Amino acid sequence: MTERQNRKARPIRPARKTGVAAKRATSDRAATDGAAGNGAETRRGDGLVGAGRVGTGRTGTDKAEARPEDVRQSRANQKAARFGRMAKEPVGRLGAGAGTGSNAGTGAKTGTIAIADLRARFRAAMGQKRGWMRHWQECYEFALPQRNGASEQPVASGGEKKFDRVFDATAPDAVEQLAASLMAEITPPSGGWFTFEPGGNVADADRDILTARLARAASILQGHFDRSNFAVEMHQAFLDLVTAGTACLRLEADDFLSPSAFRFGAVPLRDVAFEERHDGRMDAVFRKFSLTRDEIARQWPEAKLPRDDRDAGDSPKRYAVVEAVLPDPGAFGGYQLCVFFEDGGQVSGGLAGEDGVIHRDRFDVSPYIAFRWMKAPGEVYGRSPVMKALPDIKTANKVVELVLKNASIAVTGIWQADDDGVLNPAAIRLVPGSIIPKAVGSAGLTPLDAPGRFDVSDLVLSDLRDRIRRCLLADRLGQSDQPGMTATEVLERASENARLLGATYGRLQAELLYPLIRRAIHILVRRGELPDMPLDGDVVQLRHSAPLAQLPKRVQAGQAMDWLSRIATLGPEALGEVDMPHMVRWLADQFGVPDHLLRPMMPVLPVEASVEAAMMEDAI
Q: Give bridge partners of residue 542 from the DSSP assignment.
A: 196
Split at pLDDT 50, 70, 90, the class of 351 is low
* Closest to 384 in 3D by CA, of 467, 466, 473, 464: 473
DSSP strand E in 97-159: where?
none
Three-class DSSP category at 63: helix
Higher pLDDT, 148 or 483: 148
Split at pLDDT 50, 70, 90, the class of 537 is confident
The pLDDT of residue 17 is: 42
Phi and psi angles of residue 368, each rounded to the nearest 5 degrees, phi first:
-95, 135
Residue percentage of the chain with pLDDT more than 70: 67
The pLDDT of residue 392 is: 95
H or E, element range at 139: helix 115-143
pLDDT at residue 79 greater than cutoff 80 = no
SS3 annotation, 414-472: EEEECCCCCCCHHHCCCCCCCCCCCCCCCCCEEEECCCCCHHHHHHHHHHHHHHHHHHC
Kindly list the distances between the CA atom of residue 596 and the CA atoms of 196, 425, 554, 588, 601, in Å, as whole numbers in the listed order. 18, 85, 20, 11, 12
User: What is the CB neighbour count within 10 angstroms for residue 383?
Assistant: 18
Mean pLDDT of 210-221: 93
Interval 11-48: pLDDT, tens: 444 444 444 333 344 566 544 444 444 333 333 334 45
Three-class DSSP category at 288: strand
The pLDDT of residue 140 is: 94
Q: Which one-letter amino acid corresponds to residue 150?
A: A
Split at pLDDT 50, 70, 90, the class of 121 is very high
Mean pLDDT of the chain, nearest integer: 76
Say if CB 196 and CB 530 are below 8 A apart: no
**Dihedral through CA 297, CA 300, CA 305, CA 309, nearest 10?**
-30
Going by DSSP bridges, is the β-strand pair 357-363/246-253 parallel, antiparallel, or unpaired?
unpaired
**Rounded Cα gap, residues 176 and 143, in angstroms:** 9
Three-class DSSP category at 326: strand
Q: Give bridge partners of residue 374 from the DSSP assignment.
A: 383
**Rounded Cα gap, residues 214 and 443, in angstroms:** 90
pLDDT at residue 349 greater than cutoff 70 = no
Q: What angle do CA 257, 262, 264 make, to 5 degrees?
A: 125
The pLDDT of residue 522 is: 95
Split at pLDDT 50, 70, 90, the class of 455 is low
Q: Identify the sign of the CA torsion 232, 235, 240, 241.
A: positive
User: What is the CB neighbour count within 10 angstroms for residue 530?
Assistant: 27
**Rounded Cα gap, residues 17 and 413, in angstroms:** 76
Interval 229-249: pLDDT, tens: 999 999 999 999 999 999 999
pLDDT at residue 160 greater than cutoff 50 = yes
